[in-house]
Amino acid sequence: MTGSEPREVYSAADTQEAHFIKAALEDAGIAARVVGDYLQNAVGDLSAVAIAPCVWVQSEDFDEARKIIADLQAGATPANEWKCAECGEPNEPSFEICWNCQAVHDGE
Ligand SMILES: [Zn+2]
């Protein structure tokens, strides 16, 4: 292990997702690149079969990158919902007022 070999950390469903993951990793200070979306650059040649793009990072960043991606995917499901004191409806954590009755959330 040299500690600097690129490794595939994520296989994306499409180019958009791959670039989303790449941007999230770069936000976290991890150098990442998307491999497999070069087909977009093959102007005029759409005969190539679409290959699922992959996100690659340096191997020393691999574990952290996996964690960040896992956190991203966990973030897709709501956590820490709060329940409205007025009507009892669950609300997204980012909401400051109840979506149902507009009661102000006085929690935290
Ligand atoms: Zn409410």
Residues with CB under 5 A from ligand 1 (ion): 84, 86-87, 89, 98, 100-101, 103
For residue 102, what pLDDT is reported? 95
What pLDDT band is residue 15 in, cutting at 50, 70 and 90?
confident
Task: Please write the tens of the pLDDT for every residue from 45-93.
Answer: 554 445 678 999 999 999 999 999 998 887 665 567 888 999 999 888 8
| Distance in angstroms (rounded) separating the CA atoms of residues 96 and 12 | 34
Q: How far is the CA of 104 from the centre of ligand 1 (A)?
A: 8
Tell me what percent of the residues of the chain surpass a pLDDT of 70: 77
61 close to 30: Cβ distance less than 8 angstroms: yes
- 28-46: average pLDDT: 72
Q: Which residue has the higher pLDDT, 74 or 43?
A: 74
CA distances from 63 to 3, 12, 13, 24 (A): 12, 17, 21, 15
Helix (H) or strand (E) run with residue 21 in it: helix 15-27
Q: How far is the CA of 106 from the centre of ligand 1 (A)?
A: 12
Q: How far is the CA of 101 from the centre of ligand 1 (A)?
A: 4
